[in-house]
């Protein structure tokens, strides 16, 4: 047991390679949405909020998700373009925390991802004024059906307010559950374009 606890499961190395390996394993082992992540944003005054979103792409340039720019989170991103992400993969007893500034993807990237979505998901993006008050569920369904009717027989045009954002990481922390709460944590930090890392006490 002492040898097992002294060994390191998260070595120093390329944090994106480590994440790619963990993410692939999570997609295999998690029963639902292995790409789900908690996204924390804040207002200009620093008041925080958090919600679950889906990771759609990742790499050194950012961990990308898509949303309505006019939503609550979109407004907070506009006011305070910094965010934190948390992946929790219970099946693997692992977590990954990511922090960094946010930037919007270009129109071509947003168009390409929007085109890859199902037609119904596209209609939903067109119909929804995300985070705005809704009088009734029936109103939303009616708007959905109107969007479907308008786009019959042709491509659905991406709404200009529907786009993607990438969190460009300046820190990535890997956490692995261990027996007796002797958990393992390794924090990678970007300094002068190079990644350094150190273990943290759990």
Strand, helix or coil at 181? helix
Tokens of 55: 């990771």
84 contacts 63 by C-beta, under 8 angstroms: no
136 contacts 59 by C-beta, under 8 angstroms: no
Residues of 154-183 as b/e, b for ≥16 C-beta within 10 angstroms? eebebbeebbbbbbbbeebbbbbeeeeeee
Nearest to 64 by CA among 111, 3, 105: 105
Given 97, 117, 148, 181, the catalytic residue: 181
Is 181 among the residues known to form the active site? yes
Q: Which residues are catalytic?
A: 181
């Amino acid at each position: 047991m002492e040898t097992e606890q002294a060994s390191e499961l998260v070595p120093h190395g390329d944090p994106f390679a480590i994440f790619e390996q963990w993410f692939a394993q999570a997609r295999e082992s998690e029963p639902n949405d292995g790409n789900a992540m908690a996204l924390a944003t804040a207002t200009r005054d620093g008041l925080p909020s958090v919600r679950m979103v889906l990771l759609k792409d990742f790499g050194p340039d950012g961990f990308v998700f898509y949303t309505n720019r006019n939503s609550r989170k979109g407004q907070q991103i506009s006011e305070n373009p910094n965010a934190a992400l948390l992946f929790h993969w219970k099946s693997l007893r692992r977590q990954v925390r990511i922090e960094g500034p946010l930037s919007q993807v270009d129109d071509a990237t947003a168009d390409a991802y929007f085109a890859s979505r199902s037609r119904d998901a596209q209609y939903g993006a067109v119909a929804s004024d995300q985070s705005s008050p809704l009088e009734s569920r029936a109103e939303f369904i009616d708007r959905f059906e109107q969007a479907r009717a308008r786009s019959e027989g042709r491509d659905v045009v991406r709404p200009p307010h529907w786009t993607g954002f990438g969190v460009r990481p300046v820190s990535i922390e890997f956490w692995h559950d261990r027996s007796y709460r002797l958990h393992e944590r390794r924090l990678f930090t970007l300094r002068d374009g190079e990644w350094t890392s150190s273990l943290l006490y759990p």
